[in-house]
Amino acid sequence: MALQKSYYKPNLEVKIPDCYWKITKLRGDKNRIEFYLGVFRDKEKADAGIIINEFLYEFVPDLESSDNFIAQAYNYLKTLPNFENAINI
């Protein structure tokens, strides 16, 4: 699973359309999950490990959910204003 959405690089003032956003690292326990979300130009660049940027997020997992922690992390991202229009891919 991954998300697709544009990425704006502020220091270059460049918007990169349709980037591939995927979780690159995840760790935690029942109280808190931290994960890194990588931005890649496309899936091929992601598979090759050619990253544009990476961001750290965290959330409290739902232990009663049938979704695993990775799915919960993507669901959490979709609740954030920056990702409300992101497409699941």
pLDDT band at 10 (very low <50, low <70, confident <90, very high): confident
| Average pLDDT of the residues of the chain | 95
Take residue 30 and report the two structure tokens written for it.
């029942």
pLDDT band at 12 (very low <50, low <70, confident <90, very high): confident
Q: Count of CB atoms within 10 A of residue 14's CB?
A: 9
Question: What are the residue boundaries of the structural domains of the chain, listed by start?
Answer: 3-88
- Per-residue pLDDT tens digits for 31-72: 999 999 999 999 999 999 999 999 999 999 999 999 999 999
- Provide the pLDDT for residue 58: 98
- Provide the pLDDT for residue 9: 86
